[in-house]
Structure 1
Amino acid sequence: MTALGRHLLAEFTGCDAAALADLDLVTSAMLRAAEASGATIVTHTFHHFSPHGVSGAVIIAESHLAIHTWPEHGFAAVDFFSCGKVDMDRGLAVLRTALGAKDEIRLELDRGPLRTVSP
C-alpha cells in the first residue's frame, strides 16, 4: 500500500501571545512557511477572533496548511497536509520561529492508502 499523502499535526506551546493574536503576523508567517516548504500557494484566508485568536488556512496545490491560535494559552495548533513533495520540517521551523514557540509536539500520519475497499 502507498499513502496518498502525509499529514503532520503540530502543537506549538510557550508561544508569544502578541504574535498569536496578530492577524498580519500569523498570515505572513503562514505564507512564508508554505513558501519555505516548497509548496505552491493557490490562495489563503485568515480570520481574527474577538477578543483574540487567529484561524486560517493556506491552500496549496499539494493540499493545505492551517492554524488555530489561542494567545491566552500561548498555544497554536497547526495542520500540514501534502500529497506532494514539500519540506514540512522547513516550513514548520519558519512558523515556530515567527510565533516564538518554546516547544513543539508532532503527530504524523500517512493518509489515504491506495487499496480496494469492498462495501
Structure 2
Amino acid sequence: MTVHDLADACHVPWVMEPRGTASRHFAEQTCRSAGFEPDVRYETADLQTQIRLVESGNAVAILPGLVWRERTTTCRLVALTGDPHRTVFTSQRTAAAGSPAVTAFREVLERVAR
C-alpha cells in the first residue's frame, strides 16, 4: 500500500519508540488526531532499525527530519500536517568551553539541521 498522508497509514504496521518516551507519545497523539489508533507491531529506540523497517516495507513511522539529511532513501517521505518542528540543543561543561571538538560538532549539527 502506498501512503500519501497520515490517514493512509491507519491500516498498516507501525514502528515506534518504546512506551513512555516523548517521541512515542507525540506519534500516538498525531495518529489519534488523524482519527486512528496505530497498529504498533515493532518497538525500538534505535532509529536506524526503524529506518530499516520502513525502507524494507515492513512498517511506517514518524521519524525526525534529521535522520534523512544527507541520506538517500527508497521509501516515500510524507510531511505531517502543520509541519511540526522540534528544537535540538547542546550543552557543555564550562571546563570544555572553547573545545575544538565541541565547536566542530556544533557547526556540523547546525549545518545539517538547516
Q: Same fold (TM over 0.5)?
A: no
Please give the range of the TM-score, normalised by the shorter of the 2 chains.
Answer: 0.3 to 0.5
Q: TM-score, normalised by structure 1?
A: 0.32
Q: Name the larger-Rg structure.
A: 2
Q: Higher helix proportion, which one?
A: 2
